[in-house]
């Protein structure tokens, strides 16, 4: 990979498979593809299992693409796909500055066992875009919110959520540290690139997703 390019990755979700973890997981500049589930099943992209309110764990999906795989695309209206469901009482997941496709159910988030954790979880969205990103029909749970303050969203970036500035430079990779990410779009918004945060641009460094 040429120096200066943001590393990118692709995640292919198996039918109805969830990612149930309790760690500080941050996926940035990735493509997450939801496949067609089995009959009478649903897709959930994540199932975060933060157990206690003082744990610094959770999932942050930043500047990524949430899209339907080829087998789901033609039948997406027959199946529901959700951003996350609670696995434990203090489940925490955030989607930021990401493209969300129209395969995502308009309510966005899936309950688990009726009202379990709906008032203790932390689910949030910040400046997402695409046909599935509208928040006017999202769930009305006490624990769900639409982030409007950049300072709040910044808590879920590489620099603050996983303290990446203290250890990622030693890996030799190049990363987007903050929410100051400029996005250039074209076509149907599924073909786009990312440009470096302003502080990196001042250094004359170009980053893009190819």
Domains in the chain, please, with CATH? 25-149 (2.160.20.10)
- Tokens 């649903």, located at residue: 42
Planar angle of CA 123, 49, 72, nearest 5 degrees: 70
> 98: which residues sit within 8 A by CB, 6+ positions away?
61, 62, 63, 64, 65, 66, 128, 129, 130, 133
Structure tokens at 195: 């440009």
- What per-residue confidence (pLDDT) applies to 49? 83
Helix (H, G, I), strand (E, B) or coil at 155: helix
Strand ranges for 101-142 from DSSP E:
122-126
Q: Would you give the distance in Å from CA 38 to the centre of its chain?
A: 24
Would the pLDDT of 11 be above 50? no
Q: What is the pLDDT of residues 92-140, one digit of tens each?
A: 899 988 889 999 999 999 999 899 999 999 999 998 999 999 999 999 9
Q: What is the pLDDT of residues 128-185, one digit of tens each?
A: 999 999 999 999 999 999 999 888 888 887 665 665 565 555 655 555 555 555 443 3
Query: The pTM is what?
Result: 0.72
């Amino acid at each position: 990979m040429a120096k200066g390019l943001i590393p990118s990755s692709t995640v292919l979700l198996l039918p109805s498979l969830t990612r149930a973890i309790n760690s500080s997981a941050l996926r940035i500049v990735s493509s997450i593809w939801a496949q067609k589930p089995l009959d009478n099943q649903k897709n959930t992209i994540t199932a975060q299992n933060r157990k206690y309110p003082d744990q610094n764990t959770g999932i942050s999906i930043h500047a990524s693409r949430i899209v339907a795989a080829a087998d789901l695309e033609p039948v997406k209206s027959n199946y529901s796909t959700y951003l996350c469901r609670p696995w434990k009482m203090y489940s925490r997941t955030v989607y930021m500055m990401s493209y969300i496709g129209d395969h995502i159910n308009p309510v966005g988030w899936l309950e688990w066992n009726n009202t379990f954790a709906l008032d203790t979880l932390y689910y949030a969205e910040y400046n997402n875009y695409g046909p599935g990103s509208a928040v006017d029909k999202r769930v009305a749970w006490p624990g769900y919110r639409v982030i409007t303050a950049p300072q709040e969203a910044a808590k879920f970036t590489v620099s603050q959520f996983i303290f990446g500035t203290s250890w990622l430079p030693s890996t030799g990779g190049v990363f987007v540290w903050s929410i100051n990410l400029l996005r250039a779009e074209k076509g149907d918004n599924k073909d786009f690139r990312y440009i470096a945060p302003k502080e990196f641009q001042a250094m004359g460094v170009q980053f893009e997703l190819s």
